[in-house]
Amino acid sequence: MTDDEFFKVLGIKGYKNILQFWSAMDEEYGLTRARQLESAYIKLEEGDDRTFYSMIYEEFDVGLAFASLRIDLYRSFVTWFKSQFNKEIDATIIDIGCGNGVLTCLLAANFPEARFIGFDISEAGIESADKLKQKLSLENVEFLTGDLKSLPKGLENIEADIAFSVASLDPGQQFEESAVNRSLSDLWQELEVSQKENGENLEDLVANLLKSDGGIFISFDKLVRPIQQMRRLQAMTAAGLRPDFAASAWLKYTDVQGEPVILPVISGRIKSGAAVEPPCNILDVIAFLIRKDRHFDEGSINLSYGQDALAEVAFTYLNPKTFIEGARADYRDGSGSIWQELWQAGPALILFEHSNHGYRGLELHPLTALDTIKNRHQRFIESSKDYAEVAVLEEAESRFTALKP
């Protein structure tokens, strides 16, 4: 069975947007029931996922109907999964927070030699998942009710080869506010400290499910911001799971509003002896973070205000770096200065703009754009002359300094 056939058999289909989905729900379940579900869905968007999931999983068909909202996410994850593991893989694979088991069953259908175990805190979800397994006559999957924080009996002593979470280990909002204008290495250190202070570490619990050597944890959770991505990487590292950046990737899918979403799928592996090698190199983390959907051959990378940490990262670690030219404009009204500096970093150009009030922007261009960027820099000089004293810089005056390699 192909993935498309799998979805078709279950009546799971893509909708252009959420309105189209709700009108299909109106038709199928009637206005009253559809409005009930819609108000639960609004709660989900406001952060109350318990009410929502217990409601949609209660009815087998309703749970499947809602899988339509995630069809592209599933496709994207399964495509990545198939790129990583051989079809014949003979492994024990755990789905943490499997919900009603749609994704677990889709993977089980794709990897017939593997044994899948899905577990979820929602009893209704697991009941639906069992029905789904029967409907599809799958023999290589089983489902258990259980909480990751107090593992169900069947999983207490398990030594799985792979455990994955898809949107079930989503982070809270903590750390987000503090992330702007900070150096990445400072943040990294703070995360390590808070990790120790907060005690509970879901990734530690995840590591307990895995083989102590070679076990793989895969997170495709809603890690939207670099700080959340960093935190997950750091927590995995603390749990002895070394992030594998060659296997990790940025996956793209279309959400229910028809908007493109890009999220990281992060793969980490337990290696015995991990204590002797450095658990995770911040340079690798940085390289992974700034790679998100950005390709030089498609044009420039623009890190503007709010992305200071990544800009700092790019500026500090793109080496070897040579200063090409720059200028400083001092406003005649005394309100401050702006610097622009052009650097070459290997095959890349960096245009770095900064004021005495702080960071403004950093652009990365391919070297082939040199003439265009030089022209832009000249235009900055010319137009600044109207309101500022402009000094051409013989050498670079400003740089990010907070990061120590």
Ligand X SMILES: C[S@@+](CC[C@H](N)C(=O)[O-])C[C@H]1O[C@@H](n2cnc3c(N)ncnc32)[C@H](O)[C@@H]1O
- As measured in angstroms, the least distance from the Cβ of 332 to ligand X is 56
Distance of alpha carbon 75 from alpha carbon 2, whole angstroms: 11
- As measured in angstroms, the least distance from the Cβ of 95 to ligand X is 7
- As measured in angstroms, the least distance from the Cβ of 197 to ligand X is 21
Looking at the Cβ atoms of 239 and 369, the one nearer to ligand X is 239
Looking at the Cβ atoms of 4 and 123, the one nearer to ligand X is 123
Distance of alpha carbon 119 from alpha carbon 100, whole angstroms: 9
- As measured in angstroms, the least distance from the Cβ of 48 to ligand X is 12
- As measured in angstroms, the least distance from the Cβ of 202 to ligand X is 8
Looking at the Cβ atoms of 70 and 377, the one nearer to ligand X is 70
**Collapsing DSSP states into helix, strand and coil, what is residue 92?**
strand
Q: Which two tokens stand for residue 392?
A: 């051409």
Find, among 300, 278, 176, the residue nearest to 229 by Cα: 176
Query: What are the backbone dihedrals phi and psi of residue 404, each rounded to the nearest 5 degrees, phi first?
Result: -110, 120
Looking at the Cβ atoms of 149 and 404, the one nearer to ligand X is 149
Looking at the Cβ atoms of 32 and 150, the one nearer to ligand X is 150
Looking at the Cβ atoms of 132 and 290, the one nearer to ligand X is 132
Distance of alpha carbon 247 from alpha carbon 239, whole angstroms: 18
β 249-254/260-270 pair status? antiparallel
Distance of alpha carbon 101 from alpha carbon 123, whole angstroms: 12
Query: What are the backbone dihedrals phi and psi of residue 120, each rounded to the nearest 5 degrees, phi first?
Result: -155, 150
Beta bridge partners of 96: 119, 165
Cβ atoms of 40 and 52 closer than 8 Å: yes
Query: Which residues of the chain form contacts with ligand X (CB under 6 A)?
Result: 53, 70, 97-99, 102-103, 120-122, 125, 147-149, 166-168
- As measured in angstroms, the least distance from the Cβ of 51 to ligand X is 11
Packing angle of the helix pair 60-67, 123-135 (nearest 10 deg): 80
